[in-house]
Structure 1
């Protein structure tokens, strides 16, 4: 896929199935994330890949988080099954170096750029992806279950797999609606 087409036609694919990227393709996707813009060369990120039994473990973490919030059985089951919406889920974590000349916000944004780069790499390989956040992304029990340190926070979960349906064409946006000039 041509780079410009990839960027201009980017779409999230919420319904994903197998086949998933193989180990070599997954390595390439992760390498794309490692090329994100990184002021100060801090590499303020890390990734946790869940596939196979790892998806079940991630579901258990979601279940526990919802259980602690007092969710009903239907919500608990929904949370536990959420990772099964794709054959690969990459938890992207901002690992912030506090009191550094590079502001913390820039470090978190850099980790967010990793998600975008990995989604674009997956799409370039013919896979689909969707960057999910939601309440569980900002939940202390999920953070603890994933082993996050005090200086870390989740920026999202990147679900990757083969699109079940063809994504709809992107909505046409007019540059003039978003840009002003000095």
Structure 2
């Protein structure tokens, strides 16, 4: 029988994202962020392609992006409420890390597997931040899928996309537990 890591297993069985709107200062310092990124970068990536990268967004960058959300929402003719909600995600944040999916040309590793790897990096970063005692939440929203926003606001190349924005800070309140999936309804056992 394997020797279980009960602490890690208990963490994974009870982990809970913290709503981004409940996160505040202080936020991790540069050395702590580098530790969190180092752990997240240990994600399997099928062929060591590293088909993702990070953009650390501090308060000034988030404020600039919040203004850009308004400009893009106006340009797209979006509803005020939808624009305001997206803007608040940036304006009210103190730290977010954008995980950028950046697939590499490969004859062996399909692009979809590289994109999945970027998603796994998001979860690894989220869980690492939570395990380190920070509050964290994985968000996206319409701006992260708008080509003009990600190109002009984040400097993404044409082949790059935002896999997720991981908001990290000090939690102001513990979130309540939420309903979890019915394991029996989502699991198929094939024994033969």
Query: What's the TM-score once normalised by structure 1's chain length?
Result: 0.90
**Aligned partners of 2:98 and 2:107: how far apart in 1?**
24
Deviation at residue 3 of structure 1 after TM alignment: 1.2
Equivalent residue for 2:61, pick from 54, 76, 79:
54
State whether structure 2 residue 189 is matched by structure 1 residue 181.
yes
Larger CA Rg, structure 1 vs 2: 2
What residue is the counterpart of 2:3 in the other structure? none
Contact 2:52 / 2:102 at 8 angstroms: preserved in 1? Answer: yes
Provide closer, same or farther for how the CA distance between residues 77 and 170 of structure 1 changes in structure 2, counting only shifts above 3 A: closer
**Aligned partners of 2:92 and 2:8: how far apart in 1?**
27
Equivalent residue for 1:6, pick from 8, 11, 15:
11
Provide closer, same or farther for how the CA distance between residues 135 and 80 of structure 1 changes in structure 2, counting only shifts above 3 A: closer
Paired residues, what number?
182
Contact 2:130 / 2:136 at 8 angstroms: preserved in 1? Answer: yes
**Aligned partners of 1:73 and 1:175: how far apart in 2?**
39
**Unmatched 5+ residue regions in structure 1?**
none
Paired residues for 1:23-62 under 5 Å: 23-62=30-69
**Aligned partners of 2:146 and 2:97: how far apart in 1?**
17
State whether structure 2 residue 74 is matched by structure 1 residue 67.
yes
Contact 2:18 / 2:175 at 8 angstroms: preserved in 1? Answer: yes
Equivalent residue for 1:147, pick from 155, 180, 189:
155
Deviation at residue 78 of structure 1 after TM alignment: 4.4
What residue is the counterpart of 2:145 in the other structure? 138
**Unmatched 5+ residue regions in structure 2?**
1-5
Equivalent residue for 1:85, pick from 77, 89, 92:
92
Provide closer, same or farther for how the CA distance between residues 50 and 59 of structure 1 changes in structure 2, counting only shifts above 3 A: same
Deviation at residue 133 of structure 1 after TM alignment: 1.5
**Aligned partners of 1:75 and 1:55: how far apart in 2?**
18
Deviation at residue 141 of structure 1 after TM alignment: 1.6
CA RMSD of aligned residues (A): 2.0
